[in-house]
Chain A
Amino acid sequence: MALYRAHVLICHGTGCASGGSPKVLETFREELQKKNLDKEVLVIATGCHGMCEFGPIVVVYPEGTFYSQVKPEDVAEIVEEHLYKGRIVNRLLYKEPISAQKVCHYKEIPFYGKQHRIVLSNCGYINPDNIDEYISRDGYQALGKCITEMSPAAVIEEMKKSGLRGRGGGGFPTGLKWSFCAASPGNKKYVICNADEGDPGAFMDRSILEGDPHAVLEGMMIGAYAMGADEGYIYCRAEYPLAIKRLQTAIHQATEYGLLGENVLGTDFSFDLHIKEGAGAFVCGEETALMASIEGQRGMPRPRPPFPAVKGLWGKPTNINNVETWANVPRIMLQGAECFAAMGTEKSKGTKVFALTGKVKNTGLVEVPMGITIREIVYEIGGGIIGDKKFKAVQIGGPSGGCLVEEHLDLPVDYESLTAAGAIMGSGGLVVLDESNCMVDTAKFFLEFTQRESCGKCVPCREGTKKMLDILTRITEGNGKPEDLDTLQYLGEQIKATSLCALGGTAPNPVLTTLKYFRHEYEAHINEKRCPAGACQSLLRYTIDPAKCIGCTKCARNCPVNCISGKVKEPHLIDQEKCIKCGACMANCPVGAISKG
């Protein structure tokens, strides 16, 4: 292999790619050639760094200089200054939002300081389209060790010892699940990777698939060996075209290297792997619906038992795990269960990847050790609330989850504590809300999602969620009735208790937890026809403070429906009947005399 004195890593995750990183890469190649540096500097496309908001990201090694928001027109300067003359381009360094200081190196960025990147350790560091780079970072060593030195039972024992629990939402102990499938009689078994990533607003699995696809493949192979399966499926959302492409490349390369197919590495173990594109139904993330979908039917859940471990895909014993769960497997087998179990809390081991979004300064993908507090995630990794507004809640677990409030800030992130507080670990969606977010509206948003996605098989889920949504809509429009809150509570509990699958079984959670912690907000909407956060459009009122108004007429001239009256230099007045609440007046008032609420 040729030796290079510098490596330029250009993020090609979905965030950066849509921000133009392929063009940046092309320009790097051209500029390096112009300067005759193309034999000395290697340009590599990588997966996501988790800082997509500041993309496109370019990292230059050996120094690890971290450039953010790089545009094609910046490339010539980086090549000329950094790669030719050895001077860092200050203007393109990432500016730390808390201290407003420019940060030079990857490892000095506070966003990464509290993180513990294990599953994501290769993401953003290697070229996901090149199997050699994965192998050079100890890739496929764990597989070799398992199939040549360990018995299937020993692999399962090691998994049990690690304490790894499913990362797809349920948190079921992985080793135990494997032992069920291994114990099932039959000589045809399947393993499946659940890459349907349903939570709207979360993209952990996508980044792993795009940034380190071989880790998922290797995990699945180890699992297949341990359970005696010889065929596997990766069920991936069709909305993730890049992830599917990278997986196809990975499977192709692994097959060429003799890591997939007949007699892997010269042993008796054989394994075939296929990719299935999902067809756009959230409920297909549920394991029995997912299998129905692979079989070509409508993706509707069926009652369990029988569990997939006994009767799964095409009636054969099957084991389904989530992308992140599979990606943890090679690391556990390579470093040993103790090493993995040393991280985290008593019952929640290892790390968890979260998609941190909402009103924090640093949004992105973060991997944290279990047991970290919500406060550390929001204030240290997230950098606190945008505009230094007041923290209100975090919504965790997406449409199946709930919210946590100020008093929970010091709660450790582990399966049991989150559940006890009324939220769930979920698959990794973590949305931070500030004082300007309305909790009724947030609950309504998630319920709208689950209501739309209900497969319709059972009545409580199909009709009950619709009823709840109608009530919530009424409340946000100012037509709520006092008895609505009890009805919501009652319906929520009924739907939870009687739905067939966890979609219905968890759909009321966002409503029930907001009712618990923010009842006063619901009451303000109902009794005072007021949205305390000023978010519900129908309840908004724009008013002009006559003491502050200087009569400049700017608001009246900008109002699209001409509902502001008043003479020049005299206080103006808004006709509430006609006002469409567009906010144009407030945006244009030079003295801040207009307020909403």
Chain B
Amino acid sequence: MVVGTQQDARSLVREITAPWKGKQGGVIPVLQETQKQIGYLSREAMEAISEELSVPLAELYGVATFYAQFHLKPRGRHIIRVCRGTACHVRGSAKIMERIMSMLGIEENGTTEDLRFTLEPVACLGCCGLAPVVMIDEDTHGRLTDDPAKLQAFLDNYS
């Protein structure tokens, strides 16, 4: 779901923050839910959260930039996560990362210009038996090689 206007962001945030009013520990769950809904943490959304939860904006940004999970810029429609956990590293995940970077012409944590893909490294995805592993959105692909033709075939499934 993409929320376009400032007004939408504000009403969405109001909805998300409602159950946390007057309670402790709401900041991270609210940021998580907002990002889930809009895809990233826009300036408007952050300002709205700051007001609704009465948390200074600077503190909010401090939290958002600390955790790898939060994004302050728009991201691609599809998120490619290349595992670089130990098992995947030992079985050649670095080569796969490099190959995908050159195929998409982006760096680690980069997003393609057409907003189709964002490429991110992650630590262990918890299915090391299938190493090396790449996750695209919610789909896990295991036992990969850096064969460009096969990788391209995977990527073609996501438009």
Contact = CB atoms under 8 A, between A and B. Distances in A.
Interface of A: 14-15, 17-19, 51-55, 197-203, 206, 238-241, 276-282, 293-300, 314, 355, 357-359, 363-364, 395, 398, 429, 431, 433, 437, 445, 449, 455
Ordered nearest first, which 8 A-B pairs have the shortest CB separation? A201-B86, A52-B129, A18-B140, A296-B27, A280-B68, A279-B67, A280-B69, A53-B129
A14 B63 contact: no
Contacts of A277: 28-29, 32
A203 B128 contact: yes
Interface residues of B, number: 38
Interface of B: 24-29, 31-32, 62-63, 66-70, 84-90, 122-131, 133, 138-142
Given A281-B67, A295-B25, A15 B129 contact: yes
A398 B87 CA distance: 11
12 contacts: A14-B140, A18-B127, A200-B84, A206-B126, A241-B138, A296-B24, A296-B25, A297-B27, A298-B62, A299-B66, A355-B87, A358-B86
A52 B29 contact: no
B32 A19 contact: no
Contacts, number: 130
B89 A445 contact: yes
Contact of A281 (B26, B32, B68, B128): B68
Nearest to A441: B89
Nearest to A365: B129
B87 A358 contact: yes
B134 to A, nearest CB: 11
A363 B28 contact: no
Contacts of B129: 15, 51-55, 363-364
B86 A14 contact: no
B128 A52 contact: yes
Contact of A298 (B66, B69, B84, B87): B66
Contact of B126 (A54, A203, A293, A358): A203
Given A18-B139, A279-B31, A297-B27, 16 more contacts: A15-B126, A15-B128, A18-B133, A18-B142, A51-B129, A52-B127, A52-B130, A201-B86, A279-B70, A280-B68, A280-B69, A281-B66, A295-B24, A295-B25, A299-B66, A429-B86
A398 B130 contact: no
A295 B32 CA distance: 14
A363 B128 contact: yes
Nearest to B83: A200
B80 to A, nearest CB: 14
Nearest to B139: A18
B130 A238 contact: no
A18 B130 CA distance: 9
- Residue with the highest number of chain B CB atoms closer than 10 Å, among A52, A277, A294, A398: A52
Contacts of A437: 90
B108 to A, nearest CB: 11
A202 B124 CA distance: 7
Contacts of A294: 25
A431 B90 contact: yes
Nearest to B27: A296
A377 B141 CA distance: 28
A355 B124 CA distance: 12
B66 A15 contact: no
A53 B130 contact: yes
Given A294-B25, A437-B90, A240 B126 contact: yes
A51 B139 CA distance: 20
Contact of A431 (B24, B86, B127, B130): B86
A228 B61 CA distance: 37
Contact of B127 (A14, A200, A297, A300): A14
B147 to A, nearest CB: 12
Contacts of A198: 123
B63 A431 contact: no
A433 B85 CA distance: 15
